[in-house]
Amino acid sequence: MPDALWWIAALFAIVGVAMVIAAGTSLRRKRPLRMSLRLLWALVFLAAAAASGAIALGVQGYRALTREAVAAVVRTEPLGPNRFQAQFRFPDGREVAYTLTGDQLYVDARILKWHPWANVLGLHTVYELDRVAGRYLDLAQEQRQPRTVHSLAPERRVDLFNLRQRYTLLAPLLDADYGSATFAAADRPTQYEVRVSTTGLLIRKLGP
């Protein structure tokens, strides 16, 4: 999907540059009206190129969501009272491990859903795991005990999720942006499959 947007951005940029050259030709031929029109079109195409490039950069790291996708396989291993390790294995083969405090594994994700007309540009519903944390069963412990949280999302120069929440001008482009979370017990060695569906995040136990 980002590859298609980069090609679209490049096409807009080429047309924009061509319009700038054509405007220069009109200036040499002393045709100010034609020069102004071509400069206006050049600005339109260059702005479209910049917007397409920004969107392509913003969705890098997100994965396309169809009906249901495996976001990660997680193995939890207790290390003591209210303390456990969570080892993540992602579909691209990357693995990370975190030591967390609490009784349960908590994972949340970001989901971006685009308007149907944006699908023509290759923009479809995408997701990205955002954070992992430990969760206490007891609310009093949740309020008093140390909490641990780690980021699962890569750092990015353009974050469409945050931009959509801050600026309503993206509403015509993004149909919805929302977060979803799930949690499961971490009091014994267990392997889970974290899945993202069109309705949100869910977690399933693997094996007996």
Residue 40 has pLDDT above 70, yes or no: yes
At 17, list the tokens: 């540059």
Report pLDDT digits (tens) over 50-101.
776 766 666 655 655 556 788 899 999 999 999 999 999 998 889 999 999 9
Q: pTM score > 0.85 for this model?
A: no
**Could you tell me which residues come within 8 angstroms of residue 83 by beta carbon, excluding any fewer than 6 positions away?**
99, 100, 101
Domain edges within the chain? 2-58, 63-206
CA distance 60 to 47: 20
- DSSP bridge partners of 63: 127
Q: Contact, 177 vs 113, CB < 8 A? A: yes
Give the pLDDT of residue 157: 64
Residue 113 has pLDDT above 90, yes or no: no
Residue 110 has pLDDT above 90, yes or no: no
